[in-house]
């Protein structure tokens, strides 16, 4: 089992790096294996057999690849092997899904497959893929993530880095990749995942970093599955040897600022990544609501409440998402902006995410479908959802006011996405309806038990805001 203290320290540190936009991921072959792809040893196994080598007895895999290349007239068989192995369709595994959903902008990989790109696309993130040095000088417009494929791509197997020749010519064929990686290793906190640290390229770069920065290297993290006796058929001598070697590897990585998180089972890595995602999400708050009328509240008091709520949330370093709801959207935005400009160095994108709904869609069914998709996307990435007011006028001559079904739908989506749900019942309408429902099954929402009276009845702005902050801060600390 992973050390709770070490994993908690790592989760806090890496979450902070993500929130500060200083996080990066380095992906090795182990990340793609759960999807059905092979690691380097398995890729080379049939090639090694052709030249009379047993891949299980080899430790220098780069040399094995070079031996095969030396025996071949051309590189065609190596290229074909890469295509055969990495060109099949496979499902994206859970670790890749989580890593590509996280708001991380920088991904490095030695893998030839396209799982990272696919994961980012599924997460609706525009990706800029870098395969050769020429691409480093250009930028894909409106990109949300960069994937550096420093060893090439399955679609260009002839340029893939695999043999000794490839490594020796790396600085000629890909001269800027090492420079770019050095820069990221200095400025970002890396998580190495699925990586064995036996790659000559990375070893060369880490050595240079160590010589340049000495003891002042940045802290990075990696996952290792702990060597276990059950893996060795009770061969105690072999187990002890490999356990000692792994311990030595861990100590050696510390020289480069890389701290090891040991797990007993690979499923623990998924659990840790989920905790990181939840920790990041809990820092993001969606405010739902619309108001054409304000019931017991007058318009000025309602707008002041929403303004101060948004302002205080930003002051406590939460990021707000708003769909610019009728009657309250401008107060959310103005409240957030007032604090951003006052104390957050005008970093609007870091603390405010605006998603006004598309307008002028004539087909009602198309509009309903589009709005549902829009809400799903808008709420994803948030760990907390606050609901205020929630009413609208019926579009006919009666001008009757009804509870907003849009607010209800946002509640259902947020619930499905495991958000912390906080309806402010005292604002009335849909918010009250939602709180009443939660109150009737309060054991499902234990975090609200001590605050029901305030949420249900209070109209004091400061009392309500302090209560909301207590709930979200307690939730943030507990995850």
- Residues designated as active site: 151
Q: What interhelical angle do 329-343 and 299-315 show, nearest 10?
A: 40
Strands 401-403 and 391-393: antiparallel
Q: How many CA atoms lie within 13 A of 225 on its CB side?
A: 15
CA–CA separation, 133 vs 367, rounded Å?
44
Which residue, 171, 149, 189, is CA-closest to 10? Answer: 189
φ and ψ at residue 403, rounded to 5 degrees:
-70, 145
**How many whole angstroms separate alpha carbon 64 and alpha carbon 385?**
55
Rounded Cα distance, 91 and 119, in Å: 10
Burial status of residue 294 (CB atoms within 10 A of its CB: 0-12, 13-18, 19 or more): buried
CA dihedral 270, 258, 205, 248 (to 10 degrees): -100
For residue 423, the cross-strand partners are: 387
What's the CA gap between 226 and 123, in Å, rounded? 32
**CA pair distance 323, 371, nearest whole angstrom:** 11
Strand-pairing partners, residue 385, are 286, 421
Calpha distance 443→195 (Å, rounded): 43
| DSSP letter, residue 450 | G
Site of tokens 């605006």: 354
3-state SS class at 390: coil
Beta bridge partners of 421: 385
| Interatomic CA distance for residues 150 and 177, integer angstroms | 6
Cα angle, residue 369 at apex, residues 427 and 396 outer, rounded to 5°: 55
Q: How far is 290 from 103, CA to CA, in rounded Å?
A: 28
Residues whose CB falls within 8 Å of the CB of residue 254, separated by 6 or more in sequence, listed in order = none
Residue 281 in contact with residue 380, Cβ under 8 Å?
A: no
Dihedrals phi, psi of 193, to nearest 5 degrees: -135, 130
DSSP state of 55: G
DSSP state of 107: E
């Amino acid at each position: 089992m992973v050390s709770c203290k070490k994993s908690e320290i790592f989760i806090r540190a890496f979450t902070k790096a993500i929130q500060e936009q200083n996080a990066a991921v380095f992906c090795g072959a182990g990340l793609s294996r759960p999807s059905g792809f092979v690691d380097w040893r398995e890729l080379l196994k049939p090639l090694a057999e052709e030249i009379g080598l047993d891949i299980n007895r080899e430790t220098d895999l780069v040399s094995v690849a070079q031996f095969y290349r030396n025996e071949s007239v051309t590189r065609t068989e190596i290229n074909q092997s890469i295509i055969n192995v990495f060109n099949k369709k496979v499902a994206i595994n859970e670790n890749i899904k989580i890593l590509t959903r996280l708001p991380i902008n920088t991904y490095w990989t030695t893998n030839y497959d396209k799982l990272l790109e696919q994961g980012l696309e599924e997460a609706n993130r525009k990706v800029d893929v870098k395969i050769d040095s020429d691409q480093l000088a250009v930028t894909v417009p409106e990109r949300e993530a960069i994937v550096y494929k420093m060893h090439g791509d399955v679609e260009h197997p002839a340029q893939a880095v695999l043999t000794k020749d490839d490594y020796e010519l790396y600085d000629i064929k890909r001269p800027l990749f090492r420079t770019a990686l050095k820069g990221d290793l200095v400025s970002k906190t890396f998580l190495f995942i699925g990586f064995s640290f036996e790659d000559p390229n990375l070893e060369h770069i880490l050595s240079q970093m160590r010589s340049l920065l000495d003891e002042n290297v940045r802290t990075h993290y990696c996952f290792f599955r702990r060597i276990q006796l059950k893996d060795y058929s009770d061969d105690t001598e072999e187990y002890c040897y490999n356990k000692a070697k792994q311990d030595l590897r861990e100590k050696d990585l510390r020289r480069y600022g890389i701290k090891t998180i040991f797990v007993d089972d690979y499923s623990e890595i998924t659990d840790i990544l989920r905790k990181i995602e939840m920790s990041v999400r809990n820092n993001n708050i969606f405010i739902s609501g619309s108001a054409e009328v304000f019931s017991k509240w007058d318009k000025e008091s309602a707008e002041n409440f929403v303004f101060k709520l948004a302002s205080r949330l930003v002051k406590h370093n939460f990021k707000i998402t708003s769909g610019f709801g009728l009657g309250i959207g401008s107060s959310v935005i103005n409240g957030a902006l007032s604090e951003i400009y006052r104390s957050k160095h005008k970093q609007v994108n870091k603390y405010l995410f605006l998603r006004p709904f598309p307008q002028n869609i004539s087909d009602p069914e198309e509009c309903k479908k589009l709005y549902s998709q829009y809400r799903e996307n808008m709420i994803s990435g948030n760990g907390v959802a606050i609901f205020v007011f929630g009413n609208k006028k019926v579009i006919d001559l009666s001008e009757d006011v009804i509870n907003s079904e849009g607010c209800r739908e946002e509640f259902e989506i947020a619930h499905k996405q495991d958000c912390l749900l906080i309806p402010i019942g005292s604002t009335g309408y849909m918010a009250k309806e939602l709180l009443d429902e939660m109150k009737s099954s309060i054991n499902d929402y234990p975090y609200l038990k001590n605050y029901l009276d305030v949420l249900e009845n209070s109209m004091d702005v400061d009392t309500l805001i302090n209560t909301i902050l207590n709930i979200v801060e307690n939730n943030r600390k507990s995850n």
